[in-house]
Amino acid sequence: MPLAGGAQWIVGTTLALITARRSRLYAAAGAAPRRIAWLALLIFLIELAAIAVSFFAAWRSRNALFLPEYATVAWRYHTVEVLSLIAWPIVALAAIWNAVLGVALRRRTAIQELKRRTDRVRDYRTPRAPEPPPPRE
């Protein structure tokens, strides 16, 4: 479980950062997915802080007969599980929203490129009007 929790934390944090960075490409349209990705990143950082506090408490009370409730291994597993269940759908929502924006941007770009090429072909094929002869004096 610790390896799976760590891997899930690393991948989730990385995906949230990538999603937040990628949404900058879409300017104002990417503001909402960027905020959502930063929220997911904040949840992953809270998860890291909770685990760090738990490890610190376990290290300080190594000689104690009973560990505090938040320093037990079961509490750490449960914390990683619950916070990841909250953060992962948020990251997925931001990533899907980003993908939709990317598809829309590619579609607009393709339409503009088609129009540019069509205009270029039309200009090439359309004969130009003959130039008027120079005025005689």
**pLDDT tens per residue, range 107-127:** 888 999 989 888 887 777 666
Domain spans in the chain, listed from the N-terminal domain onward: 2-122
The mean pLDDT value for 47-64 works out to: 75
Helix (H) or strand (E) holding 103: helix 73-125
Please, are residues 90 and 43 in contact by the beta-carbon 8 Å criterion? yes
Mean pLDDT score of the chain, rounded to an integer? Answer: 84
Distance from C-alpha of 99 to C-alpha of 30, rounded to nearest angstrom = 11
Distance from C-alpha of 88 to C-alpha of 13, rounded to nearest angstrom = 10
C-alpha distances (whole Å) from 91 to each of 23, 36, 42, 102 are 12, 7, 11, 16
Structure pTM? 0.70
Would you state the structure tokens that stand for residue 109, as one six-digit string? 């770009």
pLDDT tens for 18-38 read 999 999 888 888 999 999 999
Percent with pLDDT over 70 in the chain: 85
Residue 72 clears pLDDT 80, i.e. is over it: no
